[in-house]
């Protein structure tokens, strides 16, 4: 899937964020979709503890793309120094959960 197609699909699937409580299950599904699209792997390969670098061959540029896509999707700012901590879906969810409005 091309990067352009990923962007269009993300925009199409993106639900407007409300001031009320965020549905973390939806956030998780969206982040899985982002990772799968950028890494060009099946969503089924992405489990909470899957090491993104070792299991999915995600390099630093892909990780930056994932970070940017999450920021755009949820209108949050993830500090770039957090990038090395984004090693698995579980770790990404911890980080995003802290940054989302509660």
Go through the domains of the chain in sequence order and give each one's CATH number: 3-99 (1.10.1200.10)
Inform me whether the pLDDT recorded for 3 exceeds 70: no
Q: Is 2 helix (H, G, I), strand (E, B) or coil?
A: coil
76/37 Cα distance (integer angstroms): 20
Picking from 10-19, 55-64, 74-83, 87-96, which range would have the lowest pLDDT averaged per residue?
10-19
What pTM did the predictor assign? 0.79
Distance (Å, rounded) from C-alpha 77 to C-alpha 41? Answer: 26
Task: Place 80 in a pLDDT band, splitting at 50, 70 and 90.
Answer: confident
């Amino acid at each position: 899937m091309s990067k352009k197609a990923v962007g269009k699909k993300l925009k199409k699937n993106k639900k407007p964020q409300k001031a009320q409580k965020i549905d973390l299950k939806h956030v998780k599904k969206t982040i899985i979709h982002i990772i799968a699209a950028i890494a060009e792997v099946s969503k089924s390969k992405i489990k909470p503890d899957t090491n993104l670098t070792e299991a999915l061959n995600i390099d630093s540029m892909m990780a930056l793309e994932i970070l940017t896509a999450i920021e755009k999707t949820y209108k949050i700012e993830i500090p770039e120094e957090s990038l090395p901590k984004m090693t698995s879906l579980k770790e990404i969810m911890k980080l995003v959960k802290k940054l989302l409005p509660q």
